[in-house]
Structure 1
Amino acid sequence: MERKVVSYDKLEESIDFLKSMYEIVRIVDPLMKRVIKYDNNGMEETGDVCHSCWEDDKICDNCISVRAFLQKDTLMKLEHTSNKVYMVTAIPIETDKRSVVLELLNDVTKSMLMQDDSYTDIEELKKVINNLNALVVKDTITNLYNKRYINERLPVDIIKSVLHEKPLSIIIFDIDGFKAINDEYGHPVGDEVIKLLGRILEKYIVYKKSWAARYGGDEFIIVLNDTNKEEAYDFAEELRKTIETSTLDIKDIKINITASFGIYTAFKEELTTNDLIDLADKNLYKAKAAGKNKLVINNN
């Protein structure tokens, strides 16, 4: 179904009307994470980062505007500042100028605290909201991000990489012989191996420009923003060596594990999320074919 295009003038009129019903009304570019202003010159990005209103200096893990933008559907979620809880409604809109998301925010702090006696403390309520938001984008076994987060976050990183002409590196790796581990010791032990990899990754992902996710099964993805080919290779090689020397000790069983890595660094390339993952995945298959416990990176 074709999306209806809304004229700039019509959207501007709607904003004036919506301000009578919502505490905060704003237009955002969900991929660039910028608030958009409206004036006689049309729409343009401001210097305001959209997530700064939540008193945080990092991209929201469960970004409702990106989800609304990608799913082409209106979505709602709870979010909070230090002393308020907001119900956020995100509406994707195709204007005659550009694709944007209309965010509508209402303060629901008092109503949330009054509805349930167990939530009389805003700090307790904020913990509940954070846990609920994390459930959407976190993998339950490893506590890393999940595939939904990959689909929502990676397009943002790709676009920023292209626009700012910064390298973007992606690493895909999986556990060598994981099926044999499951077959010999059972899936519960296999899950413990997955958890071990999750703990190792959490120690490596310590700076803001990188993140890691469980892609599925025993396969993981690491995204390194503003990281060139050589830096990505060094990062992956150090991780490979750490995994190689790690042992899972459980129920009188000792399991030594290794992993194979595929790496791809994009620079000034207009690749989709699937393109980038596929290129790294092909290098992973090459690493497997070369004997496992190896790294393969693009040569361009």
Structure 2
Amino acid sequence: MYDAVRIVDPVSNRVVWKAAMSGQTSLLDNSSCYDFWTKDRFCDNCISVRALKEKKTFTKFEAVHEELYMITASPLLCEKEEERNYVLEFVHNITHESTWNSIVSNEEENFAEAVLRLNDAVVRDELTGVFNRRFINERLPVEIVKHHIAQTPAYLLMIDIDFFKIINDTYGHQGGDVTLRQFAKLLQKQLPHSTCWAARYGGDEFLIYLEQMTFEQAYGFAENLCTITENYSIIHAGNKIKTTYSMGVCSLQPGMDMDAWIKKADENLYKAKSARDQNLHCTMYGI
């Protein structure tokens, strides 16, 4: 029934065991779980992370080399909390089966684009196109565990558009939507590495996750982002919308979980707001 079965560690993005229909098996394969999908980073819609977090079975689709695959992920939970938990993945090629035809319309010519659309709908914010709150809740705990194990640095930036209600009141909700979309696009464009990501936390608050950089580089990134926003104009219906921003920055500390990390970044954000200088386009606090 399945073309391959494998056990993965979604925290380290590694395959620890796999078996194919050919009868070949590999113990401690140690390849990246996303290598098969010809990607250079983890899958945005990672159902193995979701299966591990929610202790449920999930299914998704991936397209590679003009072939369509259905992947089912189920958690393998250890009795002892201190032991590493894994996920069992079942991979099935459904390119020539009727399953795919029941998912997309007959007008869908490129099934790779259709798969991307379906996967993005789960983890992308519909308005802005950056990652959504669900992605934060699923991905950030994995990033934290990864860095605690490797003892490597990581940083969160919590960014807020100041006086967003006034923008909505002045330019209408369409003007507000344009402001959110264009600002999200700006943040996405500034990400320094493929493993860094931006997400809409809620309302007019955005979150940026940074890794693979030193304290000085992260601070420089935050300062540079402030500088870039000073020269950035949001245009809607012929109007130039005046925007200012506040930013809270926090490095990951030993023992921090997701809630504590976000809370500290959020606290730094509001310290930046309370200390903001009306002559400054962007105010930053923390790190």
After TM superposition, the structure 1 = structure 2 runs for residues 200-279 of structure 1, keeping only pairs within 5 Å, are 200-267=186-253, 269-279=254-264
Identity among equivalent pairs (%): 39
After TM superposition, the structure 1 = structure 2 runs for residues 1-300 of structure 1, keeping only pairs within 5 Å, are 21-37=1-17, 46-96=29-79, 98-112=84-98, 115=101, 118=106, 124-267=110-253, 269-291=254-276, 293-298=282-287
Distance 2:108 2:273 in 1: 55
Once the two structures are TM-superposed, the CA of residue 151 in structure 1 deviates from its matched residue by: 1.3
AA in 2 matched with 1:118: N
Distance 1:119 1:193 in 2: 33
Distance 1:295 1:224 in 2: 16
Distance 1:257 1:197 in 2: 10
Unpaired runs of at least 5, structure 1: 1-20, 39-43
Equivalent residues of 2:94, 2:100 under 8 A apart: no
Counterparts in 2 of 1:210 and 1:196: CA distance versus 1, 3 Å: same
Equivalent residues of 2:62, 2:68 under 8 A apart: yes
Distance 2:209 2:190 in 1: 12
Instruction: State the Cα deviation string for residues 135-186 of structure 1 (Å, max 9, x = none).
Output: 1111122111111111122122212211122110110010111111112222
Counterparts in 2 of 1:280 and 1:45: CA distance versus 1, 3 Å: farther
SS in 2 for 1:109: coil
Equivalent residues of 1:137, 1:149 under 8 A apart: yes
Counterparts in 2 of 1:103 and 1:119: CA distance versus 1, 3 Å: farther
SS in 2 for 1:37: strand
Once the two structures are TM-superposed, the CA of residue 189 in structure 1 deviates from its matched residue by: 0.7
Distance 1:252 1:203 in 2: 24
Equivalent residues of 2:158, 2:207 under 8 A apart: yes
CA-based RMSD: 2.2
AA in 2 matched with 1:26: R
Once the two structures are TM-superposed, the CA of residue 113 in structure 1 deviates from its matched residue by: 8.3
Unpaired runs of at least 5, structure 2: 19-26
SS in 2 for 1:162: helix
AA in 1 matched with 2:285: V
Distance 1:175 1:114 in 2: 42
AA in 2 matched with 1:234: G
Counterparts in 2 of 1:125 and 1:294: CA distance versus 1, 3 Å: same
Instruction: State the Cα deviation string for residues 221-244 of structure 1 (Å, max 9, x = none).
Output: 000012233222211111112212
Distance 1:162 1:233 in 2: 21
Once the two structures are TM-superposed, the CA of residue 114 in structure 1 deviates from its matched residue by: 7.8
AA in 2 matched with 1:189: G
Counterparts in 2 of 1:270 and 1:106: CA distance versus 1, 3 Å: same
Counterparts in 2 of 1:105 and 1:188: CA distance versus 1, 3 Å: same
Equivalent residues of 1:92, 1:102 under 8 A apart: yes
Q: Number of paired residues?
A: 271
The structure carrying a bigger helix percent of its residues is: 1
Equivalent residues of 1:246, 1:257 under 8 A apart: no
Counterparts in 2 of 1:46 and 1:278: CA distance versus 1, 3 Å: farther
Distance 1:118 1:249 in 2: 38
Q: Which moved more, 1:29-38 or 1:140-149?
A: 29-38
AA in 1 matched with 2:246: S
SS in 2 for 1:294: strand
Distance 1:224 1:98 in 2: 25
Equivalent residues of 1:233, 1:297 under 8 A apart: no
Distance 1:120 1:259 in 2: 41
SS in 1 for 2:17: strand
